[in-house]
Structure 1
């Protein structure tokens, strides 16, 4: 708060006789405001990308789970084939049924993981829109100031 008061009092001290700020003062204000704007936009981009990465992590975890379950399914099918050679029917038939069920579970988990991965945004859209609005605002004020 004290820093703001000091800055505001320096604005008054550097004003010309008619009460309008001098060029140096306007440049100082522009620099401070631009710096603050860039910091705020970077914070917004960071928050947006963090949220997007979280969704990607969940989807990647589900893909990893589906891979592990698929591995168990393949192991069960292999065990079923081995059992088929060793015994004629009951053991291998049950092993193949279990393997098929495990592969079905793997497919379901993979489909569930697909949706969160597709929701991952590669660009911080909110930040981009905010920056576009900021640029438009600066252009508008620039044209307005030049018209005076």
Structure 2
């Protein structure tokens, strides 16, 4: 399957051979993505006046760094990138959000979703967010 690589700084898509190994790798990375999202949700709920604020923020930052390291390893293994290519990736994915977005895309592709399905899901999600009542 061909996976777009523009977000990583490459003009041509990468060809990835579907396999159980890549599918399992994608599942493990998806778990990490979900845990990171949960941590960010938790961070939104904690207030600076909370006694454990500094500890919570420190844990979140350490988890974010680990997530970024794991995410880069995931991309390197999935696409079989060499060190020079990894430098290109690191310079194009600017923060943990852009990395997480791209990893989510790659995971969906590895798990069998087409680019059209992914785009339709993203469009539907944007529309749902737009239609939500801001008072809730």
Fold equivalence (TM over 0.5): no
More helix by proportion, 1 or 2?
1
TM-score normalised per structure 2: 0.36
TM-score computed with the length of structure 1 as normaliser: 0.34
